[in-house]
Every structure is written in structure tokens, then in C-alpha cells.
Amino acid sequence: MDTENGVVVQPNRILLATDGSEDARLACRVAADLAGRTGAELHVAHAWRHHITGLGYPTVAWTDYSYLDEREARRVLATEVDTVEASGVAVSEPHLLQGPPIDAILDLCDELRPGLLVMGSRGLGPVGRIFLGSVSEGVVHHAWCPVFVVRGGEEAWPPARVVAGDDGSKSAELAARLAVSMGGLYAAEATLVRAYASPPEPIGGWSPEDRRGLNLMRSREEGALIGRAEAIEKVTGTRPGSRVVDADAALALLLVAEEGEERKTLVAMGSRGLGVVDRVRLGSVSTKVLRIARGPVLIHASPTGQTGARDPGEAVTVVRRPVPAPERVIS
């Protein structure tokens, strides 16, 4: 992804998972915009389920209307592809998937190895809209690749700010790199956030020696975060600010996000949590942020979090010059 200094952290392949809903329209625009600006290969996928209606009692006669579901699914997929290509970005390949949406999308990710999966926050099912907490969370919990859950309405894109959580882990570093690079496409302000939970003050208060120890611990966290910001600058060409916040991990991120226009703030984190003392697993910090944040959220998988999964960074290229957008392919 292009920055002012010509440094690019670029997903080689972007997968857009869509259900054709209103929430998915923004995801479609975001995926097309990112692919156009980075030259990444863009794939579009839509998952549908086979529904059978039972008639008659006590004898049950099953009527197969799967052809109607499939016809609607093909229409949704074709509409999304047309929308993308109308923006001047070519779709490398459309994918019509049959089966449970979570499994279907994850299987396709295993096959394509995308550098970024983009999806809306309302699920992927063609019949009935599945709320966040089912499809979106399921994909985020199990995907090996970075997942970008887009929400906040049309005004949410492009982002004006990037708030990336850091706990010193590899997945947090990868999330911050990708998020800062994405923000750099739009001159978005970037900030690294590290949560620091101060221990409760004992009865009688802290002794002078204890206070010196606490101040030293906090200074070390601040120094480590500044070091992380410097490392990210070397890769992306953009130096993010750094903030150590005295709060739990999810609250720290949300508090900093709320300091600006929330819907235009891209929140990013690794999949292993953001706490300084206690490492909180995905399903706690990530789930809280996904459910509460009003703007887009980027979750980067842990490089060693899945059996057989490779380092997600392998699906991302770092180059030193801008990559031109692909020409539109007219069929």
C-alpha cells in the first residue's frame, strides 16, 4: 500500500465476502478502492445455503427449492461484481459458494491465501441477515489471514484516523503495519495504543519506593511502544504516535478511538489481545471491540495460531515504489 515515502505494505490478493446487503455495499466499495490503489488481485465471494421446505402431515413431502436459492445467489454475486468493475477495478474471479457461510469463506481463504479478507458486519447469508456475533465473529475467530470488518456507513470510508493496539506480540505488529499502511493511502493520522493496568493501591497508600517502581514500569512500557512505532516507520514510511492508557485492553482502544470521529477511525489489533500484563485471547478483547466500535475494525491473525497456517505476512508484499492500479477489464 502506497505511502508518501514510496514504501508499500501491499496485500497480494484481496478477498471480498459479500451478501449483497446494505452493510456489504460499503465493504464492496472499500475492497475495490484498496485493490485499485494497491494493484492487489481482487476476488469476490458470496455464500448461499440450500433450503428445503417440508409439506404435508403426518407424511412429510420435501419440496426442493434449491434452484431458487442458487438463482438468487448468482444474481447477488453478479451484482457485486458489476458494482466493483463499474468503479474501474477488475475482478480476478467471482466465487459462488454453497454451504454454511463461515465454513465456506474459511475454506476459500485456505485455497486463495488472501492478504486481506474484507467483509461487512452483518454476515453473509442470502436468506435472513445474520448479526455480528455469528458469521463475522466466526470468520474472525478462525481465519488465518487479516480480516477487515467494515461498518459505520458511507461516511466511514476513507478513514481519517488509525488506532492500532499493541501488546508486543507479532500479530499486533502485523496488524499495526497493515493498518498504518492502509491509513497512509488517505493521509490518516495513526496512533499506537498500549493498555497498562496499574495495580490497585494498597490500604495506606504506596510507599515512595513502590511509586518509583510503578513509574519505572510505566516508563518501560512507554519506551517499548516508542520502539514499536519506530520499527513500523521503517517498514511503512509512516511514524505513528504512541499512547499508553491506564485501562483494560478493549477500553483503551475504544477510548482513544472516541477522541476523534469514531466512524472514520480504523481500529486494528492482533488476535491475541492487547493487555500489557495479562494476554487476553481472541473472543474477549477482539470480540468486545468488534461489537462496540462504530467504525471499521482490522483483526490480524496470530502467525502461529492455526494448525497448518503460515505466517500471514507471507501474503503481504513490501516494495519500495508505488504500484499502479490495474486497468479495467471489459468483458
pLDDT, tens digit, for every residue of 45-104? 999 876 555 554 554 544 445 556 788 889 999 999 999 999 999 999 999 998 888 999
Residue 323's alpha-carbon distances to 220, 302, 326, in angstroms, are 39, 27, 9
- 127 and 85 share one domain: yes
User: What is the pLDDT at residue 315?
Assistant: 57
Residue ranges of E strands in 57-110: 61-64, 93-98
| Per-residue cell: 48 | 448461499
pLDDT value, residue 71: 87
| Residue span of the structural domain in which 206 resides | 160-292
How much is the pLDDT for 86?
Answer: 93
Is the bond into 94 cis (omega within 30 degrees of 0)? no
User: Are both 203 and 240 inside the same structural domain?
Assistant: yes
pLDDT attached to residue 81: 94
Alpha carbons 100 and 104: distance in angstroms, whole number: 6
C-alpha to C-alpha distance for 204 and 106, rounded to whole angstroms: 54
80, 44 in Cβ contact below 8 A?
yes
Q: Are residues 18 and 80 in the same domain?
A: yes
* Burial of 16: CB neighbours in 10 Å, binned 0-12, 13-18, 19+: buried
pLDDT value of residue 280 = 37
Has residue 168 been placed in a domain? yes
* Whether residues 244 and 179 fall in one domain: yes
Below-50 pLDDT ranges, the chain: 2-8, 56, 59, 61-64, 123-133, 273-283, 305-314, 318-331
Phi, psi angles (nearest 5°) of residue 170:
-65, -40
Same domain, 106 and 220: no
pTM for the complete prediction?
0.80
Specify the CATH number for the domain of residue 119. Answer: 3.40.50.620
Q: Is the peptide bond before 158 cis (omega within 30 degrees of 0)?
A: yes
Q: What is the pLDDT of residue 50?
A: 65
- What pLDDT is stored for residue 196 in this prediction? 85
